[in-house]
Amino acid sequence: MLIFDAHLDMAWNAVEWNRDLMLTVDELRKFERQFPGIVPGDCTVTWPELRKGGIGITISTLLPRLHRKNKPLTHYQSREAAYAACHGQLAYYRAMEKRGAIRAIPDRKTLDAHVAEWEANPKGDQPIGYILSMEGSPGILYPQQIEEWYNAGLRLLGPAHYGPGPYCYGTGSEGGLNAEGRELIKEMQRVGMLLDVTHLADQSFWEALEIYDGPVIASHHNCRAITPNDRQFDDDQLKELIKRGAVIGAVFDAWMIAPGWTIGVTKPEETDVTLEKLVNHIDHICQLAGNAKHCGIGSDLDGGFGKEQSPKDLDTIADVYKVAEILEKRGYSQTDIEGIMCKNFIEFFRRAWK
């Protein structure tokens, strides 16, 4: 089965973490264990591992963020530096395209051809497809630059990440859109940039949806009803996204799957954080919707963490297929399972790019 992963920070791992993502996971783990404490725990994602797991399409990000022990240094101190970092990451994707490892998917025609190629030959050596997104908006110098980024291939924007941002508020902070933020959303609407509401603080979430009436996704989000914190969506937010035809990607970061996880302290083997519990979030959204058309996979694996902060029954991203097995045991139909694993996101983009 072809799998679609709606959130992977591939260029950030390659450029910020200095990872050769053409290595196998085993090779990269062996190399990085020589340098304990420099990178997060054992990596779970490389391009070969995606292919091994049948993950033929991703939403891959530009992430204008550092990873530093001192939190103030984690954020770029200027939009200009963040802009430059995003272009550096974009250059990585372009280089990987030239190598033949990946393929940009900017429109419906390319998407349809890519899906047909993967479905016809799932074990082939064709490129892995990626739709370009930006997580957080410090890399956008001013709202009218949205068009420039669209012309550079960017197709989705999540205006927020962690904390206050230049245009709005994100996870762990409270507040709405500022004047530039409202203009940013209007520019997205004008040029056809799709909105990813992931990480938006509650007030920013509702204000963005008041302005933006185009296609919306939540690339990597779980449910506040199961794991209560502001990183998750409450049922009213989920219902609004369902009404808008959105697809919500289930995120594999352990602290978002079940309550009681302390980042940097809790270990997978000490808990019962499993893929089965991740599926509880998928099922919750399906029950709210009355169907399985609004759920997908948005793993965020190696998004600043490794195996040490993943479900205990997942070793690498190649294990994502286990979600399909759990859904089957719970009585989901083959059609619904295929939707959740890939087709819901594929159909979302077909509609968005009609």
Instruction: Summarize pLDDT for 238-268 with one digit per residue, the tens.
Output: 999 999 999 999 999 999 999 989 988 898 8
- The residue ranges of every structural domain in the chain are 3-135+215-352
Lowest mean pLDDT among 56-65, 196-205, 260-269: 260-269
Rounded Cα distance, 181 and 171, in Å: 16
Q: 3-135+215-352: what fold?
A: TIM Barrel (3.20.20)
**What number is the average pLDDT over the span 308-320?**
96
Q: What is the mean pLDDT of the chain?
A: 96
Regarding predicted confidence, which is higher, 83 or 266? 83
Rounded average pLDDT over 118-145: 96
Q: State residue 333's pLDDT score.
A: 98
% the chain with pLDDT above 90: 91
Q: Evaluate if residue 72 carries a pLDDT over 90.
A: no
For residues 270-291, give the mean pLDDT. Answer: 96
State CA 157 to chain mean position distance: 11
Asked whether residue 96 carries a pLDDT value surpassing 90, the answer given is yes
Per-residue pLDDT tens digits for 18-41: 999 999 999 999 999 998 877 778
The burial of 213, by beta-carbon neighbours within 10 Å (0-12 exposed, 13-18 middle, 19 or more buried), is given as: exposed
- Minimum mean pLDDT range among 54-58, 69-73, 319-323: 69-73
Say whether pLDDT at 68 is over 90.
Answer: no
**How much of the chain, in percent, has pLDDT values that exceed 70?**
100
Look at residues 281, 299, 347, 346 and name the one whose alpha carbon lies nearest to residue 53.
299
The C-alpha atoms of residue 291 and residue 8 are separated, in whole angstroms, by: 26
Average pLDDT over residues 299-305: 96
Largest CA distance in the chain: 51
